Every structure is written in C-alpha cells, then in structure tokens.
C-alpha cells in the first residue's frame, strides 16, 4: 500500500456532522508528501455544502471562504484518521 515519489499515497477525506442524517460536511483530497506525512492536496479545492456569511451578511465567495474552511480543517485531527484507516486496510 506504500506510495512512491512518482505515485504517492493519496485519497479523499469527508468530515460531516454526526447525526442520523448528516446535513453539513467538508470534503478534500490529501496526498502523502513525505513518509508518514499527509497534507491537503489543494487547499483551494475543499468541497462543502456550507455557505459562509460575512459580517455584513453576504454569502462569501469560494475564495473568501477558503481561508476560513482551511482554518477549520487545520483544527481537525484528520491526518490521524487517515493513518488509522490506512493501517486497517
């Protein structure tokens, strides 16, 4: 299952609310950038059904929201979950 410099391990991760019918979620691609180190493949490529609103009440563009979404993702323990899943595979 190990990747290589020419063909690194990669995948997607999905975080969503934990309820019987989750309605909010974030999805992004990840890639192994060094042995044992995974990172977001494209910080601007986060997919979500969330709509972020500015202080003025306007819906943010995807570029405006990217900074906030990346800050949120940075706080999640998603790398640990990726490695836990890979070890179980």
- Domain borders along the chain are 10-17+24-88
* Alpha-carbon span 16 to 26, nearest angstrom: 6
Q: What is the pTM of this model?
A: 0.82
> Which tens digits make up the pLDDT trace of 10-45?
999 999 988 888 789 999 999 999 888 999 999 999
Q: State the pLDDT at residue 20.
A: 86
Place of tokens 């974030």: 26
Q: Which two tokens stand for residue 67?
A: 């900074």
CB within 8 Å of 39: residues ≥ 6 apart: 30, 31, 33
Check if the beta carbon of residue 69 is closer than 8 Å to that of residue 24.
no
């Amino acid at each position: 299952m190990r990747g290589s410099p020419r063909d690194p391990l990669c995948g997607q991760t999905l975080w969503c609310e934990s309820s019987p019918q989750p309605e909010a979620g974030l999805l992004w691609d990840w890639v192994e950038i060094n042995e044992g180190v995974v990172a977001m493949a494209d910080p601007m490529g986060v997919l979500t059904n969330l709509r972020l609103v500015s202080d003025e009440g306007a819906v943010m563009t995807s570029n405006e929201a990217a900074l906030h979404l990346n800050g949120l993702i940075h706080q999640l323990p998603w790398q640990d979950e990726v490695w836990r899943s890979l070890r179980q595979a």
